[in-house]
């Protein structure tokens, strides 16, 4: 069964019997993960995931697979000595081919598409009825580049491949790390917590496309049990205990598909592009996408700019 079909089947599976009387899974998850000591649980999960015990890892993975859609069939061969090794697993060579069309920006990660569409001035949609400001999300200097631009929300579930890649050939020139909370970023939380992405820990990765010269920004947003973002080109892991510089100049030339870093569990990546790009055909909320598939297309090759927002 294709990857996106498996994921959607797992997400859409109806609840029968006694499970039908339980709260919806995402609502229950919201209650359990947003009314608890989030930082403490995140530290605890970080500690547990690093315990190096092949036996404990096998048991943990077996239980995880029993209650989720975790699929390791595309993963590179182990050994997996800790849960962290599973969370940050690489894939077999060729598992994620990247579209090589120069007029395409690829998805940087495996994800479920959330709210997406045009930025309204400096406001982007979080969910139906909720917006957030780009200046609060990424700071005024970076935000100015995407006024009236376009955005897409990419949600990585806990069982997905957690590494993310360059959507095109580009020059990464700045990272702005912003400390924050560790709220869950599942759909229930996104619909209920105003300005959620602006409240959580995040890193604003600023880059310029080679050749075209267009600016793009990737904003990995941490969440409960995650709060660890690894970026190879600054050689640090950003997490709740990070006390280093928050503005990190860098000079990294990366090729399309090259690995940029990873989350240590699963979270969200927000991607912003200026005017001149439009969402690729079929990109809409709920779509399951893989790293390397077309996400944006240069507007001059695909008709007029998209002019209406799409939210969830």
Six token digits for residue 193: 């917590």
Residue 247, strand partner residues:
176
Residues 96-147 have pLDDT tens digits of 999 999 999 999 999 999 999 999 999 999 998 899 999 999 999 899 999 9
Residues 45-57 have pLDDT tens digits of 666 666 788 888 8
Which residues have a catalytic role annotated?
110, 165, 267
Six token digits for residue 211: 């050749």
Q: Got the DSSP string for 110-149? A: -EEEEEEEE-BTTEEEEETTEEEEHHHHH-HHHHGGGTT-
Task: Strand 202-209: give its sheet, edge to edge.
Answer: 247-254, 170-178, 202-209, 215-221, 268-273, 150-155, 111-118, 288-289
Q: Got the DSSP string for 30-95? A: HHHHHSS-HHHHHHHHHHHHT---HHHHHHHHHHHHHTS----TTBPP----SHHHHHT--B-TTS
pLDDT the model gives residue 289: 97
Helix (H) or strand (E) holding 217: strand 215-221
Domain boundaries, the chain: 3-87, 104-301
**Mean pLDDT value across the chain:** 81
Cis peptide bond N-terminal to 153, omega within 30? no
Mean pLDDT of 271-283: 95
Instruction: Output 41 or 253, whichever has higher pLDDT.
Output: 253
CA 262 vs CA 76, 172, 189: distances in Å: 15, 16, 22
pTM of the model: 0.82
């Amino acid at each position: 069964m294709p990857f996106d079909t498996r994921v959607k089947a797992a997400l859409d599976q109806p609840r029968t019997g006694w499970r039908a009387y339980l709260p919806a899974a995402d609502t229950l998850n919201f209650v359990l993960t947003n009314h608890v000591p989030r930082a403490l649980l995140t530290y605890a999960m970080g500690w547990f995931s690093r315990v190096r015990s092949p036996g404990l890892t096998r048991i943990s993975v077996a239980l995880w697979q029993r209650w989720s859609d975790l699929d390791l069939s595309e993963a590179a061969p182990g050994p997996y000595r800790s849960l962290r090794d599973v969370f940050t697993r690489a894939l077999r060579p060729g598992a994620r081919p990247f579209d090589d069309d120069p007029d395409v920006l690829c998805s940087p990660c495996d994800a479920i598409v959330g709210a997406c569409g045009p930025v309204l001035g400096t406001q982007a949609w979080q969910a139906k009825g909720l917006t957030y400001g780009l200046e609060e999300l990424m700071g005024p200097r970076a935000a100015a580049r995407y006024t009236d631009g376009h955005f897409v929300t990419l949600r990585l579930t806990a069982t997905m491949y957690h590494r993310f890649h360059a959507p095109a050939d580009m020059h990464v020139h700045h990272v702005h790390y912003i400390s924050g909370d560790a709220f869950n970023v599942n759909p229930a939380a996104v619909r209920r917590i105003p300005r959620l992405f602006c409240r959580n820990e995040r890193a604003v990765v600023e880059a310029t496309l080679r050749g075209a010269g267009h600016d793009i920004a990737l904003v990995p947003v941490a969440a409960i049990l995650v709060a660890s973002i690894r970026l190879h080109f600054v050689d640090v892991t950003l997490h709740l205990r990070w006390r280093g510089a928050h503005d990190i100049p860098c000079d990294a030339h990366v090729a399309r598909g090259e690995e940029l870093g990873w989350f240590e569990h699963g979270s969200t990546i927000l991607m912003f592009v200026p005017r001149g790009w439009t969402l690729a055909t079929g990109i809409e909320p709920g779509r399951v996408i893989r790293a390397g598939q077309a996400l944006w297309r240069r507007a001059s090759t695909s008709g007029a700019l998209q002019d209406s927002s799409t939210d969830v």
